[in-house]
Amino acid sequence: MALNSTCRYRFTLLPTPFVSYAEAAKQCPGSKLTTLPNLGLVGNIEPGPGAGQTSPAGQGSWSQLRANVDSLNEQSGSAASYKIMLIVRHGLGVHNVVMGEVGSSEWKNHWSKMDGDGSRTWFDAELVDEGKAQAADLGARFATGVKQDGFPVPDTIYTSPLARCLETAKLVFKDVVEGRGREFRPVVKELLRERLTDHTCDRRRPRTWIGENYPEYEIDPSLDESDTLWREGVTESNEDHVAREQTLLQDVFQADSGTIVALVTHSYTVSAILEAVGADHFRVAESAMVALLVRAERVWEETLGREERPVVEM
């Protein structure tokens, strides 16, 4: 895949340590993947020559996986790097509730263009009480997994700037991060927002509002005060969305030395990330977490947008 001709990395999903999420999703309500036992980890990868081979099937060890990924990063040098990504879809939002009430067609053709209905507001849609409970439940489940099964606590948490993701990030990760004596400081990334449409639920609030309501968050310098990306009557193509997520992944791999990162985002953005790393498509339920192991291989700058030089296999 080469949707983003300026991206200096080729991203690849290493699926071997995990169950097939696409197959697992088929067994979930509405064919939307829910958070799996042990976050779907059933095996491991072997560092060194033959990297990517699985260990015997069964309950995978998170501590061993992290150790092996750290070893792969040491061995790869500047040619490639590996990260375990914990991807979280936000909890149930008011826009999700309204669409369920009026139906998809009526929502898309009418109500999605409105800021609200007089009793509820869904401009930059916030979580409803059920969505907050979903996120809190995921946070409790994740904290239990950290204590009992060695779930990895993210080195960095990245979140969409939309309100429902800002709140989900806090409810899922704040307690477990601070419980380990670390500062809870998610990074707000414009690139992680939902696919751009003219739905008002996806038009974000000003940068100032984010800073005032989530003062502990670090706001990316590229995020403007007002929403300059949302435009009435304009929809971002899938190709442009995937290219945007390639840029997001490049930013993360270039600037973040951590092995474990969390991305709190949206349904269509999860799909775009999956496409950017060459994964099979599957949908994710509200407030669900999925773990991915992603390899980023550097592409020679002089070949950007043209045929790439072969990369030595790890």
* CA–CA separation, 238 and 14 (whole Å): 23
Annotated active-site residue 194? The verdict is: yes
3: amino acid identity, one letter: L
The whole-number pLDDT of residue 304 equals 46
Stretch 137-142: mean pLDDT: 98
The whole-number pLDDT of residue 50 equals 46
pLDDT of residue 107 exceeding 50, the answer is yes
pLDDT category of residue 302 using cuts at 50, 70 and 90: very low
Annotated active-site residue 95? The verdict is: no
Order the strands of the 260-265 sheet from edge to edge: 9-13, 289-298, 80-89, 260-265, 156-159, 187-188, 218-219
Stretch 28-53: mean pLDDT: 80
Please tell me the least confidently modeled range out of 10-14, 77-81, 273-277: 77-81
Residue reference for tokens 């990334």 = 189
Please tell me the least confidently modeled range out of 40-49, 219-228, 282-291: 40-49
CB 158 within 8 A of CB 186: yes
pLDDT of residue 58 exceeding 70, the answer is no
Is pTM, for the whole model, over 0.75?
Answer: yes
pLDDT in tens, 195-249: 999 999 999 999 999 999 999 999 999 999 999 999 999 999 999 999 999 999 9
pLDDT in tens, 176-187: 999 999 999 999
Domains and their CATH numbers in the chain? 85-292 (3.40.50.1240)
238 φ/ψ sector (left φ>0, alpha ψ -120 to 50, else beta)? alpha
Please tell me the least confidently modeled range out of 70-84, 148-162, 272-286: 70-84
Local structure of 250: helix, strand or coil:
helix
The whole-number pLDDT of residue 208 equals 98
pLDDT category of residue 7 using cuts at 50, 70 and 90: confident
Stretch 111-122: mean pLDDT: 96
- Select the more confidently predicted residue: 47 or 217: 217
pLDDT category of residue 47 using cuts at 50, 70 and 90: low
The whole-number pLDDT of residue 53 equals 46
Catalytic member of 167, 194, 236, 245: 194
79 φ/ψ sector (left φ>0, alpha ψ -120 to 50, else beta)? alpha
Average pLDDT across the chain, whole number: 90
Local structure of 63: helix, strand or coil:
helix
Stretch 7-11: mean pLDDT: 90
pLDDT category of residue 59 using cuts at 50, 70 and 90: low
pLDDT of residue 90 exceeding 80, the answer is yes
254: amino acid identity, one letter: Q
The whole-number pLDDT of residue 312 equals 32
pLDDT of residue 62 exceeding 60, the answer is yes
Token reading at 202: 């996806």
Token reading at 231: 């435009």
pLDDT of residue 162 exceeding 50, the answer is yes
The whole-number pLDDT of residue 54 equals 45
